[in-house]
Structure 1
Amino acid sequence: MWNNAYVYDWKLKLGKVGSRQTMMTEPAVNGCCEKAGIPECNSKTKASPAFEEVLDAIGSRGKFQTRLNIVFVCFASCFDLMSVNMFYLAMQTPDHWCYVPGRELSNLSVEQWKNLTIPREGASFSKCLMYNQSDVTDFGGSREPVKCQHGWEYDDTWFSLTVTSQMNWVCDNQQAVNDVLFYSQIIGVALGLLFGYIGDIWIAQHLDTQVELTLADDRYGRRPQQLLCLSAHVLSRVLVVLAPHVLPLFILAASLVSAAAGPLTESVLSVGLELTDIKHRTAVNRYACCSMAVGMMLAGLVSWALPNWNYSLSVAALSCFILFFFFSWFPESPRWLACRGREQEALAVLWRIAATNGSTVPPFALQVIQTVGKSKTDRRGFLGIFSSWNVFRNTVILIVARSVHLLTMYSPVIAVSRLSANPFLGIVAQGAAKFTAYYLVNYFGARFGRRWPGVASAVLAAMACVLIFCLLTGELRPFSLLI
């Protein structure tokens, strides 16, 4: 889509002949534009001010945008990913073995006691079997392996307490961990559609240096969606700490963050992009991506400092709760308000931005709001993905690409306890790699366009999947110490 500034610049270029700039009449310019196929230049078409011109007048990089980007685009995105990764760390299963009473009455070390009481399975001790003896003085009993009779002991080298070790979801009960991770994601997908539907998620179409934001459907707006997502984060982390003994409630609580994580980041980013000038939107997107990588690194560092999952997830809940104190800084989308016919409310948002930035709203702002509202009347909701083959095809491609991205990102986090290294440093290293990758992709995307950096990202993701598979299956076990 051509805007007035681009058309005006193009007209100026038409007036240059060699090294001498000439003045061209409006009919001559329009004639050249018609030959070039630019309808915006037609003399019968009167150019109207665009929303970006309103932003330029009220300030597109002022105090209002600065605090919005710092608190929500950066900190909210950071806390979002920190909370998600902390939960996966809390679901880790430490090394464990049967608890056999009696060691406290002896002078034997843990390793010596395990040699006496726990059978071996290959090079390691069994995790679910013990010898049929319950006291160190009773060595004459049967040495037949039996299932654990008195519970389990857990290796606390890295985790002092996880959900798995607290609830003893091991051996015959290990399916509970898979149930939590599986059903929380399934329920999260359904709730995520609801959260996105409530907020009317924006679809960003990156066109070189321009971002055109179009509405998919409208319900309640970005601000209620952000409030709902923050509330879901806090409520989820409080419930999972208080109710691990009630498995259905625990799964439902975990699914709240699975549903809210994506809409939370996308809602703040959509508003941040909308209220920023075109040239600065790539930078705002880079801030959000890099903040998510920082959140992943913080998840590893905080969980390392607080290896008890109750404390680490409480920190996640507190971090999201703090954002409520700054919620008054998060505005409703003026474009969305205009599309809903709430012109005065949209104008009030613009006045608020202008007052914060020390500027004034231009007199043509209401005209722009009315134009935006009239141009966004055809909205089809979720059924819009079936409006054409191209839309459906691109939607499927995006879903597959996003699924591969999440699988690549979270598989090492879920299985981090299987690596013979510090699991927290592994998460920090992964976050640092994501930070570098996000920065490079944004840099090359702004410099060379979106297509080839996107292709390169997909190729690197495929290579990362192969590497992760080899690490987790033991094919590259000597290199696992490097992660």
Structure 2
Amino acid sequence: MVFTQEKKSESTITIVRTEVIMDEDGATEKLNAVEKNGTGDGLPAKKFANAEEEELFDSLIEKIGNDGKFQRRFDILYNFILVMCVSMPYLNIILIMTIPDHWCYLPGREMTNLTVEQWKEEHIPRDPVKLNNGFSSCKMYLDDDDNNNSGNRSIVDCRYGWEYDRTWYTETAPTAQNWVCDKEVYVSNAFAAGRIGEIVGTLIFGQLGDQLGRMPVFYISMVILIVGRIASTFVSQWYYAFLVLIGLGSTASISTFQSPLVISMEVSDARKRSYVAFLQCVGWVIGLCVLAMMAWVLKDWQLIMVVSTLPCLAYFFMYKMFPESPRWLASKGRVKQAAEVLKYIARVNKTTYPDNAEEVLQKIADKKEKFYGLPTLFFHWRLAKNTLLIITCWGISGLSYYILMLNVTTMSGNPFMNFFWQSLVELPGYTLGKVCSNVFGRRWTQAGAYILGSFFCSIVLLVLPLQMPLLEIFFVSLLKMCLTTSFYMVWLQAIEIYPTCVRQTGTSLGGMVSNTVGIVGPYVVLLGTSYHASIPYAVILIGTMLSCVCASFLPETYNEKLPETLEDAQNFGKDQKFWNFKIYRKK
């Protein structure tokens, strides 16, 4: 939060600026009182040598407007509507890779008046692995047998292909290419390829963002995402080409969210930063809900892929509204270009461009940055302990979330409504995290989310054998809400626990671990469809119970002065008691 008090005389402006950088919920990061003097419309010229780069730039942004028309327009276009558009191609693969109910095809059914169920009774054996002893998807009776007693008839693999339940889809990628039974792992491999693509993309585009800038990386990412998703619809008959394109499209998915978020954070009031992040969460939820309804209408996997990806093309016609990050330009010594961007922001906000802005930008350009590597997170035992606890929670939350998203298409009932409800419930999950973390603190809100998640997961395991789709989706949605809350909380805790010098490194590590562990998710779901439907939920239950223990040993960060240095991180939370439980009330 930034408080500014101005004392004006005829020729001098004295600004006493007390800066508390926090999220809007009250997490204090830094408190500095700085006096600066200046005249006219320029920024204070004194004491630049002692000012931090962030403080210099924030003073400049504050002068041209850090909560004006430019910021509001940019956030609506790029942190809300864009996120809606990108979330659809990001997760449309889940819907298009659905494997509907299927069974062995046998020639001749068309010549009879038997219903599908009657035909199955005569020609398809029961599968004891399936709930309620359902019909096998991969086996058939050998009709050549002389003995027609089903108990003694030979059972063989499907010989003539498969029939598919077309109730919800006219075609999916697996039904088009028969990726079922012994080829069902092809579907899991495609999901894993997407996760691997995200990991590679995080490494590549994170570096490119620092070298080339936010704007070129954003548009490169958009091109790769669009081309990767649309091109994959035409190569499914060539499986390895399909895998490569799925992975390629996924490499760019994360950076399309991050680039506009970073720019907005850099040019916005500190009090608005958590609002911007939450705005992306809302856009994400709405985008997924729209995707579910769109898929229900289209029903064909190729149409779903193309139509859900095309809205992203609109952003190539709005490139003038997406400027390069002025902070990045200044840090790279491109002072004149940074000045042009700031002049553009000032024009949109209808504010005055400071006379000595380029002098400030040059000070930023001259400042040398000190970089801390990944090993720094493990140099001090307390920071190492917190890092291990955070990445454990982050990895398990990511795995559990991904398992639920993939498993939604294997649940009974309408797959589109199942996807819709599981997407919609994320919104109260994020909101619950924001509200509860300000009342009960970060640590116990996180642990409580895992406890509730374990409880609802246990109920799902009890409900599964009952074959009650509505009850199942209800409790799975509550489980998803708890996991969403835990995901929000672990992200917030990572931002607050890591010191300023390694904050980006720490959060990047958490995201990498989450994606890496998530590679296992598709195969957990495959075990559920191949052996028993309870396996994915059993994995989630074990994970949430372990995460609850880990989360309870993290230090409380709410209303605490957060660490800035590695020494601060080593001492942070050492005086806190484990059973310290408070209810915080806003004054």
**TM-score bin (small chain):** 0.7 to 0.9
Q: Does 1:69 align with 2:75?
A: yes
Q: CA RMSD in A?
A: 3.4
Shift of 1:100: 0.8
> Are the aligned partners of 1:240 and 1:253 in contact in 2 as well (CA < 8 Å)?
yes
> Are the aligned partners of 2:227 and 2:249 in contact in 1 as well (CA < 8 Å)?
no
Cα displacement string for residues 88-124 of structure 1 (whole angstroms, at most 9, x for unaligned residues): 1211211110011111111221111112221222431
Shift of 1:225: 1.6
Shift of 1:10: 6.4
1:422 maps to what in 2? Answer: 414
Matches within 5 A, 1:215-226: 218-226=210-218
Matches within 5 A, 1:73-472: 73-122=79-128, 123-133=133-143, 143-199=153-209, 218-379=210-371, 396-443=388-435, 452-453=441-442, 455-457=444-446, 459-461=448-450, 463-464=452-453, 467-468=456-457, 471=460
Shift of 1:8: 2.4
Q: Per the alignment, in what secondary structure is the counterpart of residue 156 of structure 2?
A: strand
Alpha-carbon distance change, 116 to 475 in structure 1, aligned in 2, over 3 angstroms: closer
> Are the aligned partners of 1:74 and 1:288 in contact in 2 as well (CA < 8 Å)?
yes
> Are the aligned partners of 1:238 and 1:317 in contact in 2 as well (CA < 8 Å)?
yes
Q: Per the alignment, in what secondary structure is the counterpart of residue 103 of structure 2?
A: strand
Cα displacement string for residues 342-399 of structure 1 (whole angstroms, at most 9, x for unaligned residues): 1111111101112222333111322332233344522356676567667666655554
Q: Does 1:8 align with 2:23?
A: no
Alpha-carbon distance change, 348 to 401 in structure 1, aligned in 2, over 3 angstroms: farther
Shift of 1:2: 8.9
2:470 maps to what in 1? Answer: 481
Aligned residues: 434
Q: Which has the larger radius of gyration?
A: 1
- Could you tell me the percent identity over the aligned residues? 30
- Distance in 2 separating the partners of 1:259 and 1:113: 46
1:206 maps to what in 2? Answer: none
- Once the two structures are overlaid, the 10-residue window that deviates more, 62-71 or 311-320, is 62-71
Q: Per the alignment, in what secondary structure is the counterpart of residue 8 of structure 1?
A: strand
Cα displacement string for residues 193-225 of structure 1 (whole angstroms, at most 9, x for unaligned residues): 1112211xxxxxxxxxxxxxxxxxx31111122
Aligned AA (1:362): P
TM-score (norm 1): 0.79
Shift of 1:481: 2.2
Shift of 1:75: 1.7
Q: Per the alignment, in what secondary structure is the counterpart of residue 218 of structure 2?
A: helix
> Are the aligned partners of 1:405 and 1:461 in contact in 2 as well (CA < 8 Å)?
no
Q: Per the alignment, in what secondary structure is the counterpart of residue 415 of structure 1?
A: helix
1:32 maps to what in 2? Answer: none
Matches within 5 A, 1:32-51: 40=34, 46=47, 50-51=56-57
- Distance in 2 separating the partners of 1:63 and 1:4: 21
- Distance in 1 separating the partners of 2:451 and 2:248: 29
Deviating runs (4+, > 4 A) in structure 1? 1-7, 37-43, 138-142, 380-398, 472-480
TM-score (norm 2): 0.66
- Distance in 1 separating the partners of 2:62 and 2:116: 69
1:211 maps to what in 2? Answer: none
Aligned AA (2:16): Y
Alpha-carbon distance change, 453 to 424 in structure 1, aligned in 2, over 3 angstroms: farther
- Distance in 2 separating the partners of 1:422 and 1:343: 56
